[in-house]
Chain A
Amino acid sequence: MAEKGGKLLPKGTKSSLTSSHSSLGSSKRKENRPTKSKKGRKVQFDSSIGSTKSADKTESMFDKVNLGKGGKEDKTGNAAKKTPVKDPQPLELKIEQELPECAKCMMDAEALHILQGIQDQMVILSEDPSIKIPISFDRGLQYAKSTGNHYTDYQSVRSILEKLKKDGVNEGELCVIANACPETADEVFALVPSLKAKRSKLIEPLKGVLSELVKLKQSS
């Protein structure tokens, strides 16, 4: 029995099968008759009990095996199989993992300052017909102008936000806060979910930083 079940499964999943089988014994037998498990056709196990990745894989494999083999029992099996729907984890920003260490995250205001300097030089270069200014530069500059003009002085913004670094906020998160111009601490935690774990530690310093940033905001 176990061997037959084992053949259908990839290696390393036997342990999950055996543990779930034993727990199934009490809960499942009333609902379903796992006599067919002996033949290796249908093995139902509740993946909510000690769910592991291997258990999920075996479950999907058995879903394929069960296809077209009787409707009713499948339905009840599936109803029993369904895991409680978990709230999807909020998508977190993971810059450090994807870019090389030498990459320095810039606020839109800092990027605007650099790109405007380059644009002044480009006026001289554009007299040369062989040099074409790329479209991405124009678009990048336009975008930086629209988003980087929230504050009067980006250097003061940087120095204010740097204070949060000692509370464990990394460079990427600081830049998201600077670019988004949040008004409340709740907004910061909603926009940067990775900071939620440190909420209790960060809330007071964050409120202080936001009140200082309000003074620097440009009147539109």
Chain B
Amino acid sequence: MFFHITLERNMQLHPRHFGRNLRENLIAKLMKDVEGTCSGRHGFVVAITGIENVGKGLIRDGTGFVTFPVKYRCVVFRPFKGQILEAVVTMVNKMGFFAEAGPVQIFVSNHLIPDDMEFQSGDMPNYTTSDGSVKIQKDSEVRLKLIGTRVDATEIFCIGTIKDDFLGVINDPTTA
């Protein structure tokens, strides 16, 4: 789910960046440092939308670097347990399938796929119902519910389920 949030960060700037373009340099460094990162608390920082406030710089003893407290607004993407979202299937195997929703990877185990769907191996491995009416394969769009999340240094990984009501395939690429 996307959120618009205000965060604060202490930016250290080398004296060579001081001058007329101090603020621009500070903002450029902030964008370089923060955009694309992820944390467990806020999720992925997708984009910075604006700078609220740049505080007074404090010169560090001994180094000459200056620390500026910067308050900025940004769009973050953070998955939550219990959230419903739509994802695109990227890989299918007998253990389950992998899907992607934005920058987040999701795995749905075969235990969390309805019992009437079975794995079919082949050139295009897929999960299909016994009557062949519903198929989950690469590039299918599925609606799933997140039941767990794990945060690494650079990415967030989730476990999902399609075993509840109103979950499952939305869009089959073969029929589209």
Evaluate contact between A100 and B5: CB separation under 8 angstroms: yes
Query: Which residues of A are found within 8 Å of B6, using beta-carbon distances?
Result: 102
From A92, A115, A142, A176, B47 is in contact (CB under 8 Å) with: A115
Query: Which residues of B are found within 8 Å of A92, using beta-carbon distances?
Result: 82
For the complex, give the distance between the alpha carbons of A111 and B43 in Å: 15
From A118, A131, A136, A179, B44 is in contact (CB under 8 Å) with: A136
* Contact mask for chain B residues 65-104; partner A; CB cutoff 8 A; 1 contact, 0 none: 0000000000111101111111010000000000011110
Evaluate contact between A146 and B86: CB separation under 8 angstroms: yes
For the complex, give the distance between the alpha carbons of A187 and B41 in Å: 30
Evaluate contact between B147 and A108: CB separation under 8 angstroms: no
Evaluate contact between B75 and A114: CB separation under 8 angstroms: yes
Interface of B is mostly: strand
* Contact mask for chain A residues 92-120; partner B; CB cutoff 8 A; 1 contact, 0 none: 11110011101111111011001100100
Evaluate contact between A104 and B84: CB separation under 8 angstroms: no
Residue of B nearest to A109 (CB): B2
For the complex, give the distance between the alpha carbons of A102 and B73 in Å: 10
A191 within 8 A of B: yes
Taking A118-B49, A137-B46, A179-B1 as contacts, is the C-beta distance between A91 and B145 under 8 angstroms?
yes
Taking A137-B35, A140-B103, A190-B165 as contacts, is the C-beta distance between A118 and B47 under 8 angstroms?
yes
Residue of B nearest to A177 (CB): B84
Residue of B nearest to A192 (CB): B84
Residue of A nearest to B148 (CB): A91
Query: Which residues of B are found within 8 Å of A108, using beta-carbon distances?
Result: 2
Evaluate contact between B80 and A93: CB separation under 8 angstroms: yes
Evaluate contact between A95 and B80: CB separation under 8 angstroms: yes
For the complex, give the distance between the alpha carbons of A99 and B44 in Å: 13
Evaluate contact between A136 and B143: CB separation under 8 angstroms: no
For the complex, give the distance between the alpha carbons of A83 and B86 in Å: 37
For the complex, give the distance between the alpha carbons of A83 and B166 in Å: 31
8 Å CB contacts to B: which residues of A174-210? 175-176, 179-180, 182, 187, 190-193
Evaluate contact between A140 and B75: CB separation under 8 angstroms: yes
For the complex, give the distance between the alpha carbons of A123 and B82 in Å: 36
Evaluate contact between B3 and A99: CB separation under 8 angstroms: yes
8 Å CB contacts to B: which residues of A132-170? 134-137, 139-144, 146-147
A172 within 8 A of B: yes
B28 within 8 A of A: yes
Taking A136-B77, A190-B166 as contacts, is the C-beta distance between A105 and B1 under 8 angstroms?
yes
Q: From residue B154, how far is it (CB to closest CB) to chain A in Å?
A: 9
Evaluate contact between B86 and A136: CB separation under 8 angstroms: no
Residue of A nearest to B146 (CB): A91
| Pairs A-B, 3 closest by C-beta atoms | A134-B36, A143-B102, A111-B2
User: In the complex, given contacts A111-B46, A143-B77, what are 16 additional A-B residue pairs having Cβ atoms less than 8 angstroms apart?
Assistant: A93-B80, A95-B1, A104-B4, A106-B75, A107-B2, A111-B75, A136-B35, A136-B77, A136-B102, A140-B2, A142-B102, A146-B88, A146-B141, A176-B83, A190-B164, A191-B145
Please name 22 pairs of A and B residues whose Cβ atoms are closer than 8 Å in the assembled complex, sorted by A: A90-B164, A93-B80, A94-B82, A95-B1, A99-B41, A100-B5, A105-B2, A106-B1, A108-B2, A110-B2, A115-B75, A118-B47, A135-B36, A137-B46, A139-B103, A140-B47, A140-B77, A144-B102, A147-B85, A172-B1, A191-B84, A191-B166
